[in-house]
Structure 1
Amino acid sequence: MKSKSLKLRGVNLGSWLLLEKWMVPSLFEGLAATDETTWCAELGSAAPEKLRHHWNTFVTRDDFAWLAERGINAVRIPVGHWIFGPGYPYHPKYGSERQPFVTGGIDVLDRAMEWAREFGLHVVLDLHAAPGCQNGFDNGGILGVCEWHTQPDYLAHTLDVLERLAQRYCNHPALHAIEALNEPRWDVPTDYLKAFYLQAYARIRKHCPTDRVAVVFHDGFRSFREYLGFMQAPEYENVIFDLHRYQCFDRAEIDMDIYGHIRKAAGEWKQEADDIITELNLPAICGEWSLGLDLRVVSLWAEGPFNHALEYMDDFQQNVATRGYAAAQLATFEKYLGWFFWSYKTETTPAWCFRDSVERGWLPSSFR
């Protein structure tokens, strides 16, 4: 039996089984594509070889070993609704190809689960992209489209995928939790979202017992207080609340100096953590956070201005500021059941790359 109170100190394995252009720009070079859906549709028959090479090289067994050596005890693995291959509903963004996604991702996930078992890492399987896209972000599979909540077949397929994940890995010792859906957008109706979470819980619980596997739900970019009284014991067991915290998307935050960023992380976010712990009656994790303060590198289509807190500092000052911001966030997120840095690896953005951040001394060298 896994401890429900295990402190999770983890990283996300982003842009591995679900592409994000800003994290792996080399894969998108020369293409009009903005997300995995349009990448597969545009490349067509050339997509499988390219993507399978990425799967085999971007994250490897050595990376799991490196994380375990540093005392990281968990990974959150984002997957798309197409992880099991064809059978998903059609979307107009697919173009003439009814089933454009490259097959074989499930074999890579099987391998990842075995590496996690080998190195004693706990896995949170995270459904990161739903049919029709749940948020309009590239990480939801289709940039600029948010239609997941508009069609019954999108909902049905989402639940089927969650159940298949639960069925496949229910007895796997590395499985710690399944997250029903990543970052459904603020304008998805709360009642619809809650009803979905209850259905997702039921599907996962058909296969995964409460003493071994947690069910995680994201706040959907709304106050935790909208979930007071939701999914409570004894009817619902081993449920975890997930929130994501960044300071580089909102204009007021972008305009802050580094002292404002640190103050927010150690003050406002700390108060929020205290309130959640006091009021929600569910354990919580910060499922995504980073050291990123520069909007330009994250959102390749964002509109400027691209001012940020570090831009006029020399290298020494940038390193001091980044370490301070990292420490302020860790001090707060340690109050929760756990946290997951976004992300393990990027091609171009060290403040979003856990490995770079550790090697540069911005994050601790050991998390034991």
Structure 2
Amino acid sequence: MPIDADRPVKKLRGVNLGGWLVLEKWMTPSLFSGMAARDETAWCVELGDKAEWILQKHWRTFINREDFAWLAEVGINAVRIPVGHWLFEADYPYHASYGVNPYPFVQGGADILDQAFAWASEFGLAVVVDLHAAPGCQNGFDNGGIQDVCEWHTRREYIDYALKSLERLAQRYGGHPALCGIEVLNEPRWDIDTELLKRYTQAGYDIIRRHCRADDVAVIFHDGFRGFREYERFMSGPQYRNVIFDIHRYQCFIREDVELDVFGHLNKAVVDWKNEAEDIIAHAGIPTYVGEWSLGLDLKMAASWAAGAFDYPTSGMDDFQLNVAYRGYAAAQLACFEKYLGWFFWSYKTENMPQWCFRDCVENGWLPNRFG
């Protein structure tokens, strides 16, 4: 069935600016050195008053104008920027992990996001803003703000504050020419009720549309780690315009994938994921982004939070063979993901994980040096 004629026509070839406004320990381990904290909530609580100047420095230096210029130069035309629910005001609902401080998060991130929008406009990049961390955490991952806690869906005040965060984003950036989409929630966990997620997404759509025209700004929702059939034709009717389905595709987090050799990884990308793409395009009823993907093929990164990392079968490869493997894996994924309306590599920058660092992947020759 053809996709709604009102869908956006510009293909987005983008990168995530992860580890910037939402901390992830594996991406910036230097910030967590010597600390017990494993996520931004615990980091802020543990550092207390010291957190502000450290994080302000990180915000100013981790991503800057030169990075936006470089992305535009290689032909990237969009960025996806993860943000936390604490971005705007210290009025978010309390969680037990905050301890004695009801508002532990550092304020001022909205000014950094304003600057990011200005740089995006300067260099012609579109911006997707993604609510990456909701109150109470929606997935139990560090990227949701509180590791090993998933309580967002259990309290009405948490859900309502996530919606309030979407409204603040829509109000602040709805008229900005660089804004092309707002994602209502990143990676809600697989066991959260699908009907609850649908109600939340519809409420988010209504709130965003009060401030953002459908012609200009997409409303994006993640699959919640479940098959697209659970959302088939969801929000595809005439009352909904410019709605985008977001999927994330990795091959490094489950034993079945990690134990593949390089040919198995390539086969999964060019056969399984290609067939999936054609199925989604034919039946989902709305266009799709691959909001996250990478060249990560080992669990060295995941070992920072997951015990029992598996041996990776490329360990016997020499440097030339590894380079060929990464180039092949990159090409296979790009050939598949180009079928969709857009894609965003995770992530632009890491401190010591080149397979997850877009700039390193380009400069190492694993990814193309031009994207337009």
Q: TM-score range by the shorter chain?
A: over 0.9
- Whether the 8 Å CA contact 2:233–2:286 is kept in 1: the answer is no
User: Quick one: distance in 2 between partners of 1:256 and 1:349?
Assistant: 20
Equivalent residue, structure 1, for 2:3:
none
* 8 Å contact kept, 1:296–1:306: no
Alignment of 1:193-232 (within 5 A): 193-232=197-236
Q: 2:245 aligns with which of 241, 244, 251?
A: 241
- How far apart, CA to CA, are the structure 1 residues paired with 2:146 and 2:345? 23
How far, CA to CA, are the matches of 1:276 and 1:77 in structure 2? 25
Corresponding residue of 1:36: 40
| Amino acid in the other structure paired with 1:367 | F
How many pairs are equivalent? Answer: 367
CA RMSD across the alignment: 1.0
Partner of 2:338: 334
Give CA-to-partner distance per residue, 1:103-136, whole Å, 9 cap, x none.
Answer: 0000000000000000000000000000000000
Matching residue within 70, 75, 90 for 2:74:
70
Please report how far the alpha carbon of residue 299 of structure 1 lies from its aligned counterpart in structure 2 after TM superposition: 4.1
Q: Which runs of 5+ in 1 are unaligned?
A: none
- 1:139 to 1:239, Cα distance in 2 relative to 1, 3 A: same
Deviation at 1:304, TM superposition (A): 2.2
Q: Are 2:245 and 1:254 equivalent residues in the alignment?
A: no
Q: 1:79 to 1:305 in 2, by over 3 A?
A: closer
> In the alignment, which residue of structure 1 is the partner of 2:195?
191
Cα distance in 1 for residues equivalent to 2:310 and 2:347: 22
* In 2, Cα distance between equivalents of 1:63 and 1:309: 34
2:313 to 292, 309, 312: 309
1:36 partner amino acid: E
Q: Which residue of 2 aligns with 1:173?
A: 177
4+ runs deviating over 4 angstroms: none
Structure 2 runs not aligned, ≥5 long = 1-5
| Residue of 316, 323, 329 corresponding to 1:319 | 323
Residue 163 of structure 1: aligned partner: 167
Q: Deviations over 1:195-249 (max 9, x none)?
A: 0000000000010011010000000000000001210131100000000000000
Q: 1:290 aligns with which of 277, 288, 294?
A: 294
Residue 272 of structure 1 aligns to which amino acid in structure 2?
E
How many angstroms does 1:3 deviate by?
A: 7.8
Do the aligned residues in 2 keep the contact of 1:254 with 1:293 (CA within 8 Å)? yes
CA displacement, residues 167-210 of structure 1 (integer Å, 9 cap, x when unaligned): 11011000000000000000110010100000000000010011
Query: Contact 2:17–2:82 at 8 Å: present in 1 too?
Result: yes
Partner of residue 91 from structure 2, selected from 67, 87, 93? 87
Q: How far, CA to CA, are the matches of 2:259 and 2:367 in structure 1?
A: 24
Letter in 2 for 1:33: A
SS in 2 for 1:319: helix
* Paired residues of 1:116 and 1:174 also in contact (CA < 8 A): yes
How many Å separate the matches in 2 of 1:328 and 1:303?
30
SS of 2:131's equivalent in the other structure is strand
If the length of structure 2 is used for normalisation, what is the TM-score?
0.98
